């Protein structure tokens, strides 16, 4: 799963449509073929909350009026800020993430965790934590979101567009990453709740505050691209809007030491080259014990970087486990899982990763990374499997997994470790020869 590019295209960390699909299934496979440990979510039934009387033309007219009042409330706020929390139900587990929006007379800023988008005047600036020395800028055409969509194919925000696009009209006002081409289907005037459906199968219930007309909450039944009929991921969103007289920190952009690049592609991290020395790093184990990377010099070290939310990671880890079993008696080869980019932090990360590790009954050790070690390698995402040579240099790396040859990583890692240790490398099996005359 491409973390950096998913952030740029729809904020991976926020589980964009493609990222959400990958969280439940390996790319190229239908979502029901889920990774180990994932339980398919129960599809929410929003339609049953609304009576026939809430679906009449009169009721829908009331819904349109409420939606117009919301658009006017957001557009008229001289200063506005909001902290939005999104919770994704992943079977028995729930993952929550928060991000913020702020706007004043200078412009608008979206802080989508590692991705920061600032619109000022006639230009949009994009920064990301993964690449601290670069930024990219685009001239605004039509609107902030139209410009982002044009320059970042697949981009959309995981909340109704009208919050940041005050010029949006009609169905576009409620469009977002989890609801495309929405259609107002019902309105409950008593609770100020609007029900939307879409051709993709996704639907949503959005509730507004009757006094301020700002959004209070949204519930989505998100159907990922390519999902079978009836498959929906439950997503809940809460809003905390405020309209101060002025923002505590006015919207502004300063390049600082960052260098401007002219495309999103150039904003990607610089890949870490094979043969480069890996900076020393300190990891924690589940019991809190610290492990220093430099203490492993003299051995070939295999590290598989993974997270509980990453479907491909979960599919690939059992084969890393098989490799670990294969070399468990080889004192010159060490094998570790490295939990990284986890949504949970600190003690919660330890608990989440340990539960998964114990549930899968893995016998090789797991280390914990807060994301710092992962960023060393300048790659787009996880799973990432690396081989570190005895002298501390990068001997090999594998980005992602091959869903058609999951077992293949075992032989590849063995050969890469043997090569790093100066041992003879087993020859690849010869291709079968077709019988004469065939």
* Residues 21-30 pLDDT 10s: 444 443 444 3
CATH architecture of 3-267: Clam (2.50)
- E strand residue ranges, 347-424: 366-368, 384-388, 394-399
Query: What tens-digit pLDDT sequence spans the chain (438 residues)?
Result: 233 333 333 333 333 333 344 444 434 443 444 444 445 667 789 999 999 999 999 999 999 999 999 999 999 999 999 999 998 876 666 778 888 999 999 999 999 877 899 999 999 999 987 777 889 999 998 888 888 888 887 788 888 999 988 778 877 889 988 998 899 999 999 999 999 999 889 999 999 999 999 999 999 999 887 777 778 889 999 999 999 999 999 999 999 989 999 888 788 777 788 999 999 999 999 999 999 999 999 999 999 999 998 889 999 999 999 999 999 999 999 999 999 988 788 999 999 999 999 999 999 999 999 988 998 887 878 999 999 999 999 999 999 988 888 899 999 999 999 999 999 987 655 544 454 544
Ramachandran category for residue 181: left, alpha or beta (phi over 0 → left; psi -120 to 50 → alpha): left
CATH architecture of 282-420: 3-Layer(aba) Sandwich (3.40)
State whether residue 379 is helix, strand or coil: coil
Task: Specify the pLDDT at position 301.
Answer: 97
* Inter-CA distances, 246 with 38, 75, 250, 345, Å: 45, 15, 8, 32
Eight-state DSSP code of residue 429? P
* Inter-CA distances, 250 with 103, 240, 244, Å: 8, 19, 12
- Given a contact cutoff of 8 angstroms between Cβ atoms, the answer to whether 301 and 391 are in contact is no
State whether residue 61 is helix, strand or coil: helix
Task: Specify the pLDDT at position 428.
Answer: 59
Using CA atoms of 398, 399, 405, 408 in order, give the dihedral in degrees to the nearest 10: 10
- The structural domains of the chain, with segments of one domain joined by +, span 3-267, 282-420
* Residues 208-266 pLDDT 10s: 999 999 999 999 999 887 777 778 889 999 999 999 999 999 999 999 989 999 888 78
The residue assigned the tokens 């999104």 is: 86
Per the document, the length of the chain is 438
């Amino acid at each position: 799963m491409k973390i950096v590019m998913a952030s740029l295209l729809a904020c991976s960390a926020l589980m964009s449509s493609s990222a959400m699909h990958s969280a439940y299934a390996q790319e190229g496979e239908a979502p029901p073929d889920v990774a180990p440990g994932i339980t398919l979510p129960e599809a929410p039934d929003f339609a049953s909350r609304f009576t026939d009387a809430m679906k009449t033309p009169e009721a829908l007219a009331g819904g349109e009026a409420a939606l117009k009042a919301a658009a006017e409330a957001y557009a008229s706020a001289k200063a506005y800020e909001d902290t939005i929390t999104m919770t994704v139900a992943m079977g028995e587990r729930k993952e929550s993430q928060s991000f913020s929006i702020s706007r004043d007379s200078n412009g608008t800023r979206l802080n989508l965790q590692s991705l920061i988008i600032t619109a000022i005047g006639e230009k949009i600036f994009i920064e990301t934590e993964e690449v601290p020395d670069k930024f990219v800028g685009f001239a605004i055409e039509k609107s902030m979101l139209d410009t982002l969509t044009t320059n970042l194919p697949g981009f959309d925000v995981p909340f109704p567009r009208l919050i940041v696009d005050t010029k949006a009209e009609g169905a576009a006002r409620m469009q977002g990453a989890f609801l495309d081409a929405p259609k107002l289907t019902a309105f409950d005037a008593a609770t100020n709740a609007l029900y939307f459906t879409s051709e993709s199968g996704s639907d949503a219930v959005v509730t507004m505050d009757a006094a301020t007309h700002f959004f209070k909450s949204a519930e989505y039944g998100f159907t990922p691209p390519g999902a079978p009929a009836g498959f929906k991921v439950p997503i809940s969103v809460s809003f905390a809007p405020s309209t101060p007289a002025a923002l505590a920190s006015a919207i502004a952009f300063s390049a600082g030491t960052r260098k401007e690049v002219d495309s999103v592609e150039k904003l990607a991290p610089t890949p870490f080259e094979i043969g480069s020395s890996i900076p020393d790093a300190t990891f924690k184990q589940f019991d809190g014990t610290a492990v220093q990377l430099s203490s492993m010099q003299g051995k070939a070290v295999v590290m598989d970087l993974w997270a509980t939310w990453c479907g491909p990671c979960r599919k690939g880890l059992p084969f890393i486990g098989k490799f670990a079993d294969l070399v468990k008696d080889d004192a010159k080869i060490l094998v570790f899982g490295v939990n990284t980019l986890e949504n949970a932090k600190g003690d919660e990360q330890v608990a989440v990763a340990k539960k998964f590790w114990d549930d899968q009954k893995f016998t090789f050790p797991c280390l914990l990374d807060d994301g710092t070690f992962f960023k060393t390698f300048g790659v787009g995402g996880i799973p990432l499997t690396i081989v570190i040579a005895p002298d501390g240099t990068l001997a090999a790396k594998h980005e992602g997994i091959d869903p058609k040859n999951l077992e293949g990583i075992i032989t590849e890692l063995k050969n890469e470790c043997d090569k790093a240790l100066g041992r003879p490398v087993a020859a690849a099996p010869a291709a079968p020869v077709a019988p004469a005359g065939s």
